[in-house]
A and B are shown apart, each in its own frame.
Chain A
Amino acid sequence: MHEGSSHGGAHVHRDDEGSKMAMWLFLFTELLLFGGLFLLYGAYRFEYADGFKVAAADMNSFIGAVNTIILLTSSLSVALSIAAIQRNQKRLTMAMLWFTILCGIAFLINKYFEWSHEIHNGIYPGGPALENMSNGEVIYFGLYYVMTGLHGLHVIVGLIFIGFIMNFISRDKITSTNYQKLENAGLYWHLVDVIWIFLFPLFYLLH
């Protein structure tokens, strides 16, 4: 009797509340990771207010705005996918997640053009254009690459996360009664969105 199902190896244990709690805790750690960078941004903006203003004037706020719209839209579609799976609409769930992935890729493509434009102009750490700039501008662009780069990395991680979730949905491992994993992926994607909402004004709008 004791060699039965309860001892069959891995502990079978499902706790949606617990897994949501873990996801929130993990998101706190992500916020703190960016928090260190926000702290640096604040300190250096205070120290080099002028340099930051000059450097920010060069940024293309149009591309930034487009990317903001794209990410906000993708957050909507991820939320809709959760609403769809709750109603047992598998095809709609998948469609919404595909749309989210397309938005994420569009964001990255935009980012690619933006970065390559700046790199082309010699604006990158150690680049020729930075040699003639003041310390404040150098640090502004240093932080710009680190913070948007780290955010871009999170977009990629989010896309992979959603990819796994879609695989689970297609194999019916995630269903209308067991969708906590999808909800966690949604939470993660919202975090990526929220961080961008802070990065956008800091780098593009504050002149």
Chain B
Amino acid sequence: MANGSLANDVSYLEYEGKHKGIMGWLLSVDHKRIGLMYLMGILVFFFVAMTLGVLMRLEMLTPGETIMKPSTYNSVFTLHGVIMVFLFIIPAIPAVFGNFMLPIQIGAKDVAFPRLNLFSWYLYMIGAILAIVSLFTGGGAADTGWTFYVPYSIRSAQNVSMTTLAAFVLGFSSILTGLNFVVTIHRLRAPGMTWFRMPLFVWGLYATSWIQVLATPVIGITLALIMLERFMGIGVFDPALGGDPILYQHLFWIYSHPAVYIMILPAMGVVSEILPTFARKDIFGYKQIAISSLGIALIGYLVWGHHMFVSGMSDTSRIVFSLLTFLVAIPTGVKIFNWVATLYKGSIKFSAPLYYVLGFIFIFSIGGLTGLVLGALATDIHVTDTYFVVAHFHYVMFGGMGIMFFATMHYWFPKVFGKMYNEKLAVVACTVIIIGFNVLYFPFFIMGYMGMPRRYYDYLPQFEGWHILSTVGSWILVSGIVFMFGNLFYAMLKGPKAAVNPWGGTTLEWKVPSPPPLENFDEIPIVTGGPYVHNKSTYIMHPSKESINANGANKTVNQEAAL
């Protein structure tokens, strides 16, 4: 049976084409190299934004000025948000692991438009550099919060224009990646891979890509209008000229709410990959999970108004948006119950990626349920713009996407680098991260409920105890993260060689060598069944060779002929 050994191919990491050394990476159109280039950029920005987050926590350790001035604090939380949202959370899983794994999982040699793919990476880097440059030029870093709400963003003397330009460019990169993925999934699936034989990670990426394509242009024009307002004062958002700031909020959230699902859907896709592998069991309710991704994407478009319950919308629209918001819970609940059902009576093998997934289910459930508190009108009005909201979106964004990003790195690490990490240390790091996360963010719920407003520089003394607890949590969390990256980085350099399929996964990426060769497959495989069938292979890896073998030809002779 084919085990995907392509011994005569060099891996994509060692392959040398037209360009050598660093240019071999910067000019590479190979989806795997581009994925790794995204990974490098994204990790750098993650560390920058994490550092900003720690600085904010230090500032909030005691009331009054601790380590920075109020204006600096405004810039720090804006940049923390902008970098985390636009440079890390939105692109991380689709751009890194989507690029790397999508073509392999559907049995393709590359994405549909490899050069466009490289161009997206350059756009991402240009956007990122603009964001960094905006820190040090103009009147200083933007201080509006990552939402750039008017009229403050029009009047602020800080460098808002450049930061919005950065987000604009990043949006372009996101659109092109989404477009590339949609066409790739439609056009490049291997023979026999019908829609309902695609791995669920691919389904997650497919839903995400549609949101990227259909929502991002709206934020593009919204941010462009902020720049035009600042430079020319056209008046559409400026109340002094008759414009309406609430229209800005509508346009902003028409994108930015679906963007929340850009963040979480790929992460949910990875959950659906990891669970069947480590439960050694077919996933429960494959079709329901696949379709619920599209359901979340679809309803995700209709709920943006729940960010604006206190902005002065009409009562009717508030009630409608509140109702629609509750509907998102249905496809999300479908996923959660199917995941738990997959574990039921599974032959579970506990290892680091699965620990992260279990942590994710715990944290994301808290995040999701507190979402109902915010989606319901009456309770939202009590906790709006408090730390409760901050806690909620850190639970769903960091706890959902961030924790799953760590899980993804552990799950596909052997495939990407061909090395194994230290399992015990990975589990320790995971435990520290999950504990630190909850110690850091759970007090936010309590403080928010007690009335601590978000974005405030100073606070009343009764919150001090909770702030101290939370700040201590940030230290635990950061040590866990640093420890985790240390473990992975060491493994990348010195780790033992990984097997082709260390976890017993059933999808196509586990049939090709670790790390994969340049073109993934020397011959496009044929798919004969669903992606999560254990005990039986559903892929024919060397179609022509196997037909020759079936005719009685000698396999070794064939391999020699291939040399």
Interface residues of A, Cβ cutoff 8 Å to B: 1-2, 6-11, 13, 15, 17-19, 21-22, 25-26, 28-30, 32-37, 39-40, 43-44, 47-48, 124-126, 134-136, 138-139, 142-143, 145-146
Give the residue of B179, B217, B247, B562 whose beta carbon is less than 8 angstroms from that of A32: B217
> Are A25 and B241 closer than 8 Å at their CB atoms?
no
Q: How far is the CA of A48 from the CA of B186 in the complex (A)?
A: 45
Q: Which residues from A are CB-within-8-Å of B563?
A: 1
Measured between C-beta atoms, what is the minimum distance from B14 to chain A in Å? Answer: 13
Given A21-B183, A126-B233, do A11 and B110 touch, yes or no (CB 8 Å)? yes
Given A11-B109, A139-B242, A146-B228, do A125 and B222 touch, yes or no (CB 8 Å)? no
> Are A22 and B217 closer than 8 Å at their CB atoms?
no
Measured between C-beta atoms, what is the minimum distance from B342 to chain A in Å? Answer: 33
Measured between C-beta atoms, what is the minimum distance from B382 to chain A in Å? Answer: 30
Measured between C-beta atoms, what is the minimum distance from B557 to chain A in Å? Answer: 14
**B369 touches A (CB below 8 Å):** no
Measured between C-beta atoms, what is the minimum distance from B522 to chain A in Å? Answer: 7
> Are A11 and B29 closer than 8 Å at their CB atoms?
yes
Q: Mark B109-138, 1 if CB is under 8 A from A, else 0.
A: 110111100000000000000000000000
Most B CB within 10 A of own CB, among A6, A48, A142: A142
> Are B233 and A125 closer than 8 Å at their CB atoms?
yes
Give the residue of B29, B217, B222 whose beta carbon is less than 8 angstroms from that of A30: B217
Given A17-B187, A36-B217, do A1 and B236 touch, yes or no (CB 8 Å)? no
Would you give 5 A-B contacts (Cβ < 8 Å), ordered by A?
A: A8-B17, A13-B114, A18-B186, A26-B179, A139-B235
Question: Nearest B residue to A1 by beta-carbon distance?
Answer: B562
Q: Which residues from B are CB-within-8-Å of A142?
A: 234-236, 241, 243
**B391 touches A (CB below 8 Å):** no
Q: How far is the CA of A17 from the CA of B9 in the complex (A)?
A: 31
**B298 touches A (CB below 8 Å):** no
Q: How far is the CA of A180 from the CA of B499 in the complex (A)?
A: 43
Measured between C-beta atoms, what is the minimum distance from A113 to chain B in Å? Answer: 21
Give the residue of B222, B234, B519 whose beta carbon is less than 8 angstroms from that of A11: B519
Most B CB within 10 A of own CB, among A6, A13, A36, A146: A36
Q: Which residues from A are CB-within-8-Å of B188?
A: 18
Measured between C-beta atoms, what is the minimum distance from A72 to chain B in Å? Answer: 25
> Are A29 and B216 closer than 8 Å at their CB atoms?
yes
> Are A7 and B519 closer than 8 Å at their CB atoms?
yes
**B468 touches A (CB below 8 Å):** no
> Are A28 and B235 closer than 8 Å at their CB atoms?
no
Give the residue of A7, A25, A35, A143 whose beta carbon is less than 8 angstroms from that of B179: A25
Q: How far is the CA of A134 from the CA of B242 in the complex (A)?
A: 8
Give the residue of A21, A37, A135 whose beta carbon is less than 8 angstroms from that of B221: A37
Q: How far is the CA of A32 from the CA of B216 in the complex (A)?
A: 9
Q: Which residues from A are CB-within-8-Å of B522?
A: 2
Given A1-B562, A11-B110, do A48 and B242 touch, yes or no (CB 8 Å)? yes
Question: Nearest B residue to A48 by beta-carbon distance?
Answer: B242
Give the residue of A2, A8, A25, A146 whose beta carbon is less than 8 angstroms from that of B234: A146
Q: Which residues from B are CB-within-8-Å of A32?
A: 214-215, 217-218
Q: In the complex, which range does the number of interface residues on chain B fall in?
A: 35 or more
The 5 A-B pairs of least Cβ separation, nearest first, read: A135-B242, A142-B234, A32-B217, A36-B221, A33-B217
Q: Which residues from B are CB-within-8-Å of A35?
A: 217-218
> Are B218 and A36 closer than 8 Å at their CB atoms?
yes
**B546 touches A (CB below 8 Å):** no
Q: Which residues from A are CB-within-8-Å of B183?
A: 18-19, 21-22, 25
The residues in B between 1 and 58 inclusive whose CB is less than 8 angstroms from any CB of A are 8-9, 15, 17-18, 29
The residues in B between 190 and 222 inclusive whose CB is less than 8 angstroms from any CB of A are 213-218, 220-222
Q: How far is the CA of A44 from the CA of B112 in the complex (A)?
A: 42
Q: How far is the CA of A154 from the CA of B419 in the complex (A)?
A: 49
Measured between C-beta atoms, what is the minimum distance from A199 to chain B in Å? Answer: 15
> Are B112 and A15 closer than 8 Å at their CB atoms?
yes
Measured between C-beta atoms, what is the minimum distance from B465 to chain A in Å? Answer: 46
Give the residue of B175, B247, B519, B562 whose beta carbon is less than 8 angstroms from that of A43: B247
Q: How far is the CA of A15 from the CA of B29 in the complex (A)?
A: 17
- 11 more contacts with CB within 8 A, not counting A139-B234, A142-B236, are A1-B563, A2-B8, A2-B9, A2-B522, A10-B114, A11-B29, A13-B112, A28-B213, A36-B218, A139-B242, A139-B243
Q: Which residues from B are CB-within-8-Å of A136?
A: 242
Q: Which residues from B are CB-within-8-Å of A139?
A: 234-236, 241-243
Q: Which residues from B are CB-within-8-Å of A36?
A: 217-218, 221-222, 251, 254
> Are B236 and A21 closer than 8 Å at their CB atoms?
no
**B180 touches A (CB below 8 Å):** yes
**B232 touches A (CB below 8 Å):** yes
Q: Which residues from A are CB-within-8-Å of B234?
A: 125, 139, 142-143, 145-146
> Are B242 and A29 closer than 8 Å at their CB atoms?
no
Measured between C-beta atoms, what is the minimum distance from A172 to chain B in Å? Answer: 21
**B182 touches A (CB below 8 Å):** yes
Q: Which residues from B are CB-within-8-Å of A146?
A: 225, 228, 234, 236
Q: How far is the CA of A36 from the CA of B219 in the complex (A)?
A: 9
The residues in B between 230 and 257 inclusive whose CB is less than 8 angstroms from any CB of A are 232-236, 241-244, 247, 250-251, 254
Question: Nearest A residue to B6 by beta-carbon distance?
Answer: A2
**B518 touches A (CB below 8 Å):** yes
Q: How far is the CA of A9 from the CA of B519 in the complex (A)?
A: 10
> Are B217 and A10 closer than 8 Å at their CB atoms?
no
Q: Which residues from A are CB-within-8-Å of B247?
A: 40, 43
Measured between C-beta atoms, what is the minimum distance from A181 to chain B in Å? Answer: 13
